[in-house]
C-alpha cells in the first residue's frame, strides 16, 4: 500500500497544557519553569559567534552541574591519550582490583559540554554506575568538526583495550554523547576491535537528520530542548552526509555484535522518537535492548532534582551491574 503523495499534515490547535499531577513535586517544579530560552544558533560561518555561544551555554550548564555535583569522594586525574584529554574518575571506595570502566561521552549537541562540563558529567556518571569513569573531552566544532570527536572517542576506547578486557568496559552517554557512544561502537566493530560489554544511551541524538516524529509532536512540549539542533549538527558534519551511520548511528547495521543496550527517554522528550527508534532497530537486529520512558520528562529528564531521575539512575546501575556481573 503506497501512501498518496502530498500527505496532508495534521492540524493541532493551540493548547494550554497543565503541569501534570502524575509526577513528583520536584518534577512538577521543573515543568512549571516553562520553556528554556535557548536563543538562536549563530550562522554557520561565524566561528567567533559559535565560540561565544558555546561558552555562554557551557557556563550556564556548569553552574547547574556544580549545584548538583556528587559528594562522592573520588580520585580525578586528567590524562592525555594520543592527544585526547580524558578525565579519569575513580570512586575512592572501589577495591584496588576493580577493573571496570565506564567510557563516558558527554552531551551538548556535539558542540558544547567540554572541559569542566565534561569532568562534572563524568563525576555524576561515576556516582551513578559505581565504577571508574573515563570521561572523554573530545574535540568539537567550530575548530574541529567531524570526524574529530569520533576519532577521539575511538582513540580512548582503543587505549582502554590495551589493558582491559572488552567485557570490563561499558560505554554510554546522553544526547550527543549517545550519538558518539553508538557511533564509537559501530566504528570499533568496523575496525575489527572487540566490543564493550554494554551500552547506555540516554535520550540519544542518533539521527542528525531529525526525521523522528517527536521532533514535531514534542516541539514546544519539551521545555528543556526547545529547538532543533540542526545548525549544530550541520556545523559538526561539515559537509558530511548527516545520514551516514557514523553521524547518525540509527541508520547503521546494528546486527553484527552491537552489545546489550539500555535506552531512556521521557514522554515530553524531543528525542523520544530517536530513543524508541533506536530501541526498535536494536531489537530487530537481535540485540537485547531495554527501554525506559519517564512520565512527562523533557530531554534528559529533571536536572537530577527529582526522584524520577534517581529511579532511572537505579535502572542504569542495575543494568551495568548485570553486564559487569560476570567479571567479579
Question: Considering the complex, what minimum distance in angstroms separates the CB of residue 240 from its own copies?
Answer: 21
Residue among 244, 313, 315, 321 that touches its own copies (CB under 8 A):
315
Interaction of residue 260 with its own copies, rule CB under 8 A: no
Sign of the dihedral defined by the CA atoms of residues 224, 153, 58, 90, in that order: positive
Sign of the dihedral defined by the CA atoms of residues 224, 88, 260, 194, in that order: positive
Residue among 120, 181, 186, 221 that touches its own copies (CB under 8 A):
221
The SS3 of residue 88 is strand
Interface segment toward its own copies; rule CB under 8 A; list 1-9, 74-82, 161-169, 171-179: 1-9
Question: Considering the complex, what minimum distance in angstroms separates the CB of residue 247 from its own copies?
Answer: 17
Question: Considering the complex, what minimum distance in angstroms separates the CB of residue 99 from its own copies?
Answer: 29
Are the CB atoms for 87 and 78 separated by under 8 Å?
yes
The SS3 of residue 80 is strand
Position of cell 540542526? 230
Interface segment toward its own copies; rule CB under 8 A; list 71-79, 82-90, 162-170, 211-219: 211-219
Interface segment toward its own copies; rule CB under 8 A; list 45-53, 56-64, 123-131, 205-213: 205-213
Residue 121 to residue 70: CA distance in whole angstroms:
10
Residue among 115, 130, 220, 310 that touches its own copies (CB under 8 A):
220
Q: Would you list the DSSP string of 181-204?
A: HHHHHHHHHHTTPPPPSEEEEES-
CA 2 to chain CA centroid, Å, is 35
Residue among 277, 301, 304, 309 that touches its own copies (CB under 8 A):
277
Question: Considering the complex, what minimum distance in angstroms separates the CB of residue 276 from its own copies?
Answer: 4
Are the CB atoms for 213 and 273 separated by under 8 Å?
yes
Question: Considering the complex, what minimum distance in angstroms separates the CB of residue 216 from its own copies?
Answer: 5
The per-residue b/e assignment along 253-282, b for 16 or more CB within 10 angstroms, e otherwise, is: ebeeebbbbbbbbbbbbbbbbbbbbbbebb
Residue 105 to residue 98: CA distance in whole angstroms:
21
Q: Which three cell numbers stand for residue 167?
A: 567485557
Question: Considering the complex, what minimum distance in angstroms separates the CB of residue 315 from its own copies?
Answer: 7
Question: Considering the complex, what minimum distance in angstroms separates the CB of residue 248 from its own copies?
Answer: 12
Q: Which is nearer to its own copies, 51 or 280 (CB)?
A: 280
Residue among 126, 224, 247, 294 that touches its own copies (CB under 8 A):
294
Half-sphere exposure of 115 (CA within 13 A, CB side): 10
Interface segment toward its own copies; rule CB under 8 A; list 51-59, 123-131, 165-173, 212-220: 212-220
Interface segment toward its own copies; rule CB under 8 A; list 166-174, 180-188, 254-262, 274-282: 274-282
Residue 85 to residue 228: CA distance in whole angstroms:
29
The SS3 of residue 116 is helix
Question: Considering the complex, what minimum distance in angstroms separates the CB of residue 242 from its own copies?
Answer: 14
Residue among 178, 212, 231, 259 that touches its own copies (CB under 8 A):
212
- Site track 7-36 with its own copies (rule: CB under 8 A), x = hit: xxxxxxxxxxxxxxxxx-xx-xx-xx-xx-
Q: Which is nearer to its own copies, 20 or 39 (CB)?
A: 20
Q: In what order do the strands lie in the sheet with 198-202?
A: 74-81, 84-91, 132-137, 101-105, 169-174, 198-202, 261-266, 289-294
Interface with its own copies by CB under 8 A: which residues? 1-4, 7-23, 25-26, 28-29, 31-32, 34-35, 211-214, 216-221, 223, 267-268, 272-273, 276-277, 279-280, 283-284, 290-296, 305, 311, 315
Amino acid at each position: 500500500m503506497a501512501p498518496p503523495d502530498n500527505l496532508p499534515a495534521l492540524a493541532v490547535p493551540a493548547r494550554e497544557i497543565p503541569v501534570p499531577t502524575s509526577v513528583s513535586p520536584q518534577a512538577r517544579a521543573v515543568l512549571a519553569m516553562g520553556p528554556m530560552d535557548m536563543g538562536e544558533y549563530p550562522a554557520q560561518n561565524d566561528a567567533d559567534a559559535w565560540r561565544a555561544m558555546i561558552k555562554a551555554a557551557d557556563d550556564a550548564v556548569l553552574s547547574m552541574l556544580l549545584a548538583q555535583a556528587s559528594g562522592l569522594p573520588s580520585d580525578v586525574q586528567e590524562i592525555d591519550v594520543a592527544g585526547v584529554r580524558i578525565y579519569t574518575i575513580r570512586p575512592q571506595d572501589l577495591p584496588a582490583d576493580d577493573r571496570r570502566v565506564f567510557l563516558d561521552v558527554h552531551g551538548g549537541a556535539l558542540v558544547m559540554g567540554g572541559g569542566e562540563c565534561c569532568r562534572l558529567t563524568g563525576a555524576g556518571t561515576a556516582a551513578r554506575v559505581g565504577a571508574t569513569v573515563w570521561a572523554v573531552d573530545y574535540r568539537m566544532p567550530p575548530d574541529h568538526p567531524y570526524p574529530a570527536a569520533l576519532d577521539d572517542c575511538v582513540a580512548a576506547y582503543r587505549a582502554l583495550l590495551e589493558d582491559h578486557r572488552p567485557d570490563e568496559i561499558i560505554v554510554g552517554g546522553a544526547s550527543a554523547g549517545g550519538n558518539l557512544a553508538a557511533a564509537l561502537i559501530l566504528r570499533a566493530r568496523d575496525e575489527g576491535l572487540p566490543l564493550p560489554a554494554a551500552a547506555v544511551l540516554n535520550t540519544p541524538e542518533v539521527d542528525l537528520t531529525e526525521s523522528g516524529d517527536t521532533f514535531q509532536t514534542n516541539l514546544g512540549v519539551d521545555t528543556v530542548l526547545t529547538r532543533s539542533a540542526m545548525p549544530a549538527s550541520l556545523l559538526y558534519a561539515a559537509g558530511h552526509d548527516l545520514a551516514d551511520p557514523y553521524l547518525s548511528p540509527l541508520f547503521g547495521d546494528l546486527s553484527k555484535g552491537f552489545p546489550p543496550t539500555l535506552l531512556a527517554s521521557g514522554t515530553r522528550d524531543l528525542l523520544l522518537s530517536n530513543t524508541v527508534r533506536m530501541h526498535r532497530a536494536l531489537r530487530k537486529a537481535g540485540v537485547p535492548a531495554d527501554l525506559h520512558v519517564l512520565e512527562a520528562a523533557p530531554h534528559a529528564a529533571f536536572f537530577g532534582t527529582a526522584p524520577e531521575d534517581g529511579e532511572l539512575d537505579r535502572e542504569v546501575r542495575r543494568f551495568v551491574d548485570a553486564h559487569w556481573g560476570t567479571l567479579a
